[in-house]
Amino acid sequence: MKESEKIDVSTEEKIKEAARIVFYKKGFAATRTRDIAEEADINLALLNYYFRSKAKLFEMIMLETLSGFIQNMLVVLNDEKTTLEKKVEEIASRYIDLIIKEPEIPTFIVTEIRNNPDMLLKKLPIKQVLTNSMFFKQHEEAVNKGEISEPNPLHFLMNVIGLVVFPFIAKPLLMGGSGINDTEFNALMLERKKLIPVWIKSMMKGE
Amino acid sequence: MKESEKIDVSTEEKIKEAARIVFYKKGFAATRTRDIAEEADINLALLNYYFRSKAKLFEMIMLETLSGFIQNMLVVLNDEKTTLEKKVEEIASRYIDLIIKEPEIPTFIVTEIRNNPDMLLKKLPIKQVLTNSMFFKQHEEAVNKGEISEPNPLHFLMNVIGLVVFPFIAKPLLMGGSGINDTEFNALMLERKKLIPVWIKSMMKGE
DNA sequence: GTCTATAACGTGATAGAC
DNA sequence: GTCTATCACGTTATAGAC
């Protein structure tokens, strides 16, 4: 890498980063290539020069985002050195930090997958990895030992991820409904890093 | 109402219902007025004849959907005759039934509010109603009695709604990641009507 | 690689006949 | 109220000069 490239990022990278920002905020259908060009402070024609089309550029961003998001989770769920309990702590901690930095990601993923459920899921081998995961084994073990009352690991997974991610998705509604501001919202989310593992522990034990 | 209107719904109503279906599925930006006309099986020009514009039609659908969704919740949260525990059961039961019937609603609300956070929240007086709600009073009482360890009612609210709604929002990801089909998904959701109140009870009691 | 100009197309909306 | 035809505009994408 040349010295100049360390200071001024390449045009290609500038466009990609701008595209990420705009796509995250408005979704594919609502963003215009002009928005991206403006955000990147480049000429509109350069977008098509570097990336063939708006759709191609989008697909690239989407794939990176989604695979990053999911890969991150699979790594935690497949760690052979951590207990089930520790896995919950890891997911809560990692994802809350990550989403506070990039608050638009969860809604972005959800809305864009709705518009194209196949395309992306077929490219990512989530199912194989998940069903053979350390997480599933440990969950089954805990159920057999009577430490967890609900036998279906999908409920467990939905609960953890839902408790972590949902507040970010519902953030505008929550802020409108409660009157809290952005800083207060983030403080609440940080609290949840400690709270969620405790909650999960209590709720999964059963009455 | 004339007899004929009972049999063939009015054109206006046909358009509105078609708009609801298409908007729910694709969102505002991605739907074309032609999609709506086709879904309603009417001439494209009629859409502008009955509703002034695509935006006006959308706003109507959005407002109805959102106020219905929120009003429903406020009614439960403000019921003076039910305990806090019963309120959780009510919300889980009502909303899971409702969303199974109209699975696109949560994602629709979330994505469209992202694109226009002000417009709609300012028209609905959620904040006043919520902060003076029976729910808040009962929660505070339970905290004072030591029945609930986490003092912030927002955590409680996020948890209940998240456990109920999140799986529907993440449905495509969940189905792709686990291999379950639509019927199995709905069965899981119905299970949660009973599970969520129990979980909430355990988790809020504290260790 | 970067720019200007413009082509090619899709979309929301309306005019005007019936 | 409903239709056909069409306008007016915004948007993606490219041609071609520099």
User: Mind listing the pLDDT tens digit for each residue in A131-157?
Assistant: 999 999 999 999 999 999 999 999 999
- CB hemisphere CA count around A52 (13 angstroms): 4
Range of the structural domain that residue B45 is part of: 1-52
Can you read off the two tokens belonging to residue B74?
């406020």
Q: Could you tell me the pLDDT band of residue A11, with boundaries at 50, 70 and 90?
A: very high
Nucleotides on strand D lying under 7 Å from protein C-beta:
1-5, 10-16
Q: What is the rounded average pLDDT of the residues A164-176?
A: 96
A100/A199 same-domain check: yes
Looking at the 3D structure of chain A, how many domains does it have?
A: 2
Neighbours of B95 (CB within 10 A): 23
pTM beyond 0.85: the answer is yes
Can you read off the two tokens belonging to residue B168?
């529907």
Cα nearest neighbour of A122 on chain B: B176
- Please list the alpha-helical segments (H only) found in B32-104: 33-40, 44-50, 54-77, 84-101
* pLDDT at residue number A1: 47
The sign of the torsion formed by the CA atoms of B159, B145, B140, B78 equals positive
B8/B105 same-domain check: no
* pLDDT at residue number A192: 98
A48/A66 same-domain check: no
* pLDDT at residue number B207: 54
In which residue are the tokens 């009612």 written? B153
Alpha-carbon distance B187 to B184, whole Å? 5
CA-closest candidate to residue B163, choices A190, A26, A24, A150: A150
- Please list the alpha-helical segments (H only) found in chain B: 3-7, 11-30, 33-40, 44-50, 54-77, 84-101, 105-115, 117-121, 126-131, 134-144, 153-169, 171-178, 182-205
Q: Could you tell me the pLDDT band of residue B124, with boundaries at 50, 70 and 90?
A: confident
Neighbours of A54 (CB within 10 A): 17
In which residue are the tokens 């919950």 written? A88
Of B110, B127, B172, the CB nearest to A107: B110
Q: What is the rounded average pLDDT of the residues A118-139?
A: 86
CA angle B173, B175, B181 (to 5 degrees): 160
B110/B12 same-domain check: no
A132 CB below 7 A from strand D atoms: no
Q: Could you tell me the pLDDT band of residue B2, with boundaries at 50, 70 and 90?
A: very low
Residue A43 above 60 pLDDT?
Answer: yes
CB contact under 8 A, A166 and B165: yes
CATH code of the domain containing B23: 1.10.10.60
Residue B119 above 80 pLDDT?
Answer: no
Residue A200 above 70 pLDDT?
Answer: yes
B71/B135 same-domain check: yes
Through-space separation of residue A110 CA and nucleotide C8 C1' in angstroms? 33
Looking at B13, B32, B52, which one is the last position of a domain? B52
A46/A68 same-domain check: no
Task: Kindly state whether A75 is in contact with chain B, defined as any CB-CB distance less than 8 angstroms.
Answer: no
Residue A206 above 80 pLDDT?
Answer: no
List, chain by chain, residues whose CB lies under 7 Å from nucleic acid strand C.
A 11-12, 42-46, 49; B 31-34, 44-45, 48-49, 52-55
Residue B119 lies in a domain: yes
A21/A86 same-domain check: no
- Please list the alpha-helical segments (H only) found in A31-104: 33-40, 44-50, 54-77, 84-101
B123/B197 same-domain check: yes
Residue B128 lies in a domain: yes
Through-space separation of residue A115 CA and nucleotide C11 C1' in angstroms? 19
Residue B16 above 60 pLDDT?
Answer: yes
User: Chain-centre distance of CA B106, in angstroms?
Assistant: 5
Residue B57 lies in a domain: no
A75/A26 same-domain check: no
A116/A21 same-domain check: no
Residue A180 above 60 pLDDT?
Answer: yes
Q: Which residues contact B120 (CB under 8 A, 6 or more apart)?
A: B62, B63, B66, B113
B135/B170 same-domain check: yes
A122/A146 same-domain check: yes
Q: Could you tell me the pLDDT band of residue A122, with boundaries at 50, 70 and 90?
A: confident
